[in-house]
Amino acid sequence: MPPGVATRAPTRAEWLGLALVVAVALGLRLAHWQQLRVHDPFFELPSVDERMYHEWARAIVAGDWLGEGVFLNGPLYPYFLAGIYALFGASLAAAKAVQCLLGALSCVLVWALARRLFDARVALLASLGLALYGMAIFYEGTLVVVNLQLPLTLAVLLAVVYALERPHAMSWLVAGALSGLSSLARPNVLLFVVFIAAWIPIALRGQAPRLRRALHVAAFLGGAALMVLPVTVRNRIVGDDWVLITHAGGLNLFIGNNPDSDGMFRVPRIFPRASADDPWEQRAQFEALAERASGREMAPSEVSAFWSGQVRAFIRANPMRWIRLELRKLALSVNGFEPWNIRSYTLTRDFSGVLHLPLLSFGWMAPLAFAGLLRSARAWRRLVPLYAMLGTTWVTLLAFFVLSRYRMPAVPVLLIFAAAALAGFADALRARRWRRAAGTALFALGCAGLVHLPLAREDLSVAYYNLGNRYRELARWDPAIDAYRESIRRNPGYISAHNNLAIAYESSGMHDAEAIAAWQRVRVMAEASGLRRYVTRADRHLETLRARAGADALPAAP
């Protein structure tokens, strides 16, 4: 069904349908929030990126508005969290509740966008799809950028579509400002800005003279610059380096394009394994290795350039290997598998009954979306903003690596196309256009076969290891021991899990025999791997445990 401009106000039935969708969205999200609050040890003990954003936001609230050095990550999300903390205290529960509200708001925004480009049926279906989208609900229970990025992405698309329909300097200034603001959450949005700036003169050809089109482009870019340049100036003043927003580009580029890359997030072997769990430690390792190779101190932009150079060298030396890697990234980017590097959806289901519901997933939505993309191709000119956002997402995935949360900004757009495919299929059936209906169904089924190819397997050993660490922080020794055991069952050679299992046994005070056996296993594994620090640690703990066992064996004093 070809898109068209919305020409009438929503009916009462449309408003009622939207209200029901928002109620469903908010109900599911708040139920998930409550269940995690009661059962999930991660809820008040953030780890990895979550901990970084939490601590960053607390520092801002404490008065450190500018921070130190050049920004490593987009600054908008920690400042957003700081605003919540300023109102409610440094409460992770409050932050996640606000994210649930933003999730419901995103359902309204996707409805408005789909209604403007398609019709009321597509709008309601797309909105319902986002309300029931499992990964969206899951992420709203974690502190990650995508929770702010989704509503911003939809607001940007609405603003750009409106400006294309009613071109005016002010509408383009607003669209540019929203785009610039969104880039402070994820700098890759700047690529979307470039796409749209190039499209404006083409889209408005015949509607406005060349000079006016140039003014529209200038207003759009000017709005983006109004948001970005203060951050650039801040980086120069505080970090003594001219960096547009962040300096993580070259670092992430190397993580996704090196001899160890597999298309997903994977810490290169040249870094210690511990670097995977600490973004600040990752940065320190990148800087140390770059400076050691160059023989001098380097500015953040130089460190980023160094690792970009390493990527170019890898591609020149291994062109066919890199092409195969890119093809794997492309396949993963449209696959139903959800790659993660902070929290596992699968493991989180143990703490949330909501995630056990038959929620919508990428694997079931994507085939319909691809069918919708094909069916709506005749109206491609009006859909360029959606294509630009999809293109921005996929260029990012192919350039760096595939992560579920990096793919999420494309999900609302894909939901719109999936809804269009369903509406078109219903129209074809109603009109008895059997060949058209069958063509849509067969195309979607073919895409479903590709989307569900078994390209990757979820390694939950790290997820259970992290879970054990959270229980350990809470001194809940029995669940910590169970989590470490499960991690080892899934990856028997995971020495960090063996190490922490031994610590949990020992710290519990009730499993000394198991602790001695666990430390002996750690020692054997460490000797076999040449990990002297583990050998030394195991010897120290074994000596303490044997001394404690000997003391316990002495007769009690009279």
pLDDT in tens, 55-77: 999 999 999 999 999 999 999 99
Got the DSSP string for 114-137?
Answer: HHHHS-HHHHHHHHHHHHTBHHHH
Q: How far apart are CA 414 and CA 503, in angstroms?
A: 47
| Residue spans per domain, the chain | 1-144, 146-185+188-238, 249-333, 461-552
The b-or-e profile of 495-515 (16+ CB within 10 A means b, else e) is: bbbbbbbbbbbbbbeebbebb
Cβ neighbours of 207 (radius 10 Å):
10
Q: At what angle do helices 92-117 and 76-88 cross, to 10 degrees?
A: 120
Whether pTM > 0.75 for this model: the answer is yes
Contact 132, 158 (CB under 8 A): no
Query: Which tokens go with 36?
Result: 């995690």
- Residue 4 pLDDT > 60, yes or no? no
**Count helices and strands in the chain by DSSP H and E runs:** 25, 0
Helix (H, G, I), strand (E, B) or coil at 242: coil
Rounded alpha-carbon distances, angstroms, from residue 230 to 194, 225, 239, 245, 324: 19, 8, 13, 9, 40
Residue 278 is predicted with a pLDDT of 67
Query: Which tokens go with 507?
Result: 């710290």
**AA identity, residue 34:** Q
pLDDT in tens, 11-39: 999 999 999 999 999 999 999 999 999 99
Residue 557 is predicted with a pLDDT of 35
Residue 554 is predicted with a pLDDT of 36
- Residue 201 pLDDT > 60, yes or no? yes
Cβ neighbours of 9 (radius 10 Å):
7
Residue 276 is predicted with a pLDDT of 54
pLDDT in tens, 406-459: 999 999 999 999 999 999 999 999 999 999 999 999 999 999 999 999 999 888
Q: How far apart are CA 51 and CA 57, in angstroms?
A: 10
Average of pLDDT values for 536-554?
78
CA 306, distance to chain mean position in Å, is: 25
In a 13 Å sphere around the CA of 353, the CA atoms on its Cβ side amount to: 6
Residue 547 is predicted with a pLDDT of 84
Give the 3-state secondary structure of 299-366. Answer: CHHHHHHHHHHHHHHHHHHCHHHHHHHHHHHHHHHCCCCCCCCCCCHHHHHHHCCHHHCCCECHHHHH
Q: How far apart are CA 40 and CA 34, in angstroms?
A: 10
- Residues with Cβ < 8 Å from 499, sequence gap 6 or more? 522, 534, 537
The CATH class that applies to domain 461-552 reads mainly alpha
- Residue 148 pLDDT > 70, yes or no? yes
Percent of the chain with pLDDT over 70: 96
- Residue 364 pLDDT > 70, yes or no? yes
Contact 110, 418 (CB under 8 A): no
